[in-house]
Amino acid sequence: MKAVLKRRQNASDSGAQTETVRVHGGLAALYRKEMADHLNSGRFLIVLGLIILTSYASLYGAVSNLSDAVSQDSDFIFLKLFTLSGSTIPSFTTFIALLGPFVGLTLGFDAINSERSEGTLNRLISQPIYRDAVINGKFLAGATIIFVMVLSMGLFIGAVGILKTGIPPSAEEVGRAAVFLIFTAVYICFWLALAILFSVICRHAATSAMLGIGLWIFFALFMSLVASIVAGALYPINDMATVGQVLDNYECQTMINRMSPYYLYSEAVSTIMDPSVRTTNLVLPQQLSGAITGYLSLGQSVLLVWPHMVGLLALTAVMFACSYIGFMRREVRSR
């Protein structure tokens, strides 16, 4: 009797180990496959070249105007490499806010529907792996590419900036740059998750790409216009408007704009990379009375934009959760 129970226990343990190997092994295999597909694709090389070109252009503009900026304010020189713009060239933070969504959309707009249209999805999920390993592996591979790309750009700009200026950054500046790069990677991962969602919903890759590009353009260019129109309709301002009406209009615009990931990212980055920013809301003249001029510490700046970071991370999680549920519930038919 004891021998029978021991054999059953060994069989149960062996089955559990096999199940664990199946889960982790399948996800690891798909993760490696997606990483290899990204790195070997011509599309990724084009995106990487575009990002390198824009990074170099923004760095050139910042270095060319750095002496004038230092003559006016000699503090936080290292951060100026990321935030300073040239005469005709935007800063690195401006470039990444506009082009970051393009990277995420490029990596994910055909993640699922291309497999479906080529007839490889049904063969992929017929392997001895769990179905959710497919979408998990695609998202994790894309997120890894994004984090490596963003951190590499930050190190490149920092290294070239140090060689050009000869001034090493302080611990405060390194911390702010690290928070900025991590938040940038999360911002791009939101667009990756959104692109994967459209790839699950739409049958054709062109349709999912157009939906992603449309939302990108809307949030970057037209969201502020919509917020201004809605706030003007709800809280109109004229020559006889009171201070309370102006404040209501501004708060309404801000609330609507903060529904946009582009605005959330831009507002948070401007606070993190500029220690002189002390608030993200409107400040009245009487509130400035008696205030001491100075810089916020890194911890205080992070606390100031912590809701922005949590909100963008939550949006990313929601987008991926929707794509996960949609993929798990969608029927996969063989061609």
The model's pTM is: 0.85
**Closest to 330 in 3D by CA, of 129, 193, 106, 132:** 132
pLDDT tens sequence across 67-103: 777 777 777 788 888 888 777 788 888 888 888 898 9
- State the burial class of residue 83 (Cβ atoms within 10 Å of its Cβ: 0-12, 13-18, 19+): buried
Q: What parts of the chain have a pLDDT lower than 70?
A: 1-25, 119, 121-122, 124-128, 281-294, 331-335
Where along the chain do its domains lie? 28-329
Q: What is the pLDDT of residue 36?
A: 87
pLDDT tens sequence across 204-258: 888 888 999 999 999 988 888 988 898 888 888 877 777 777 788 888 888 888 8
Q: What is the pLDDT of residue 4?
A: 46
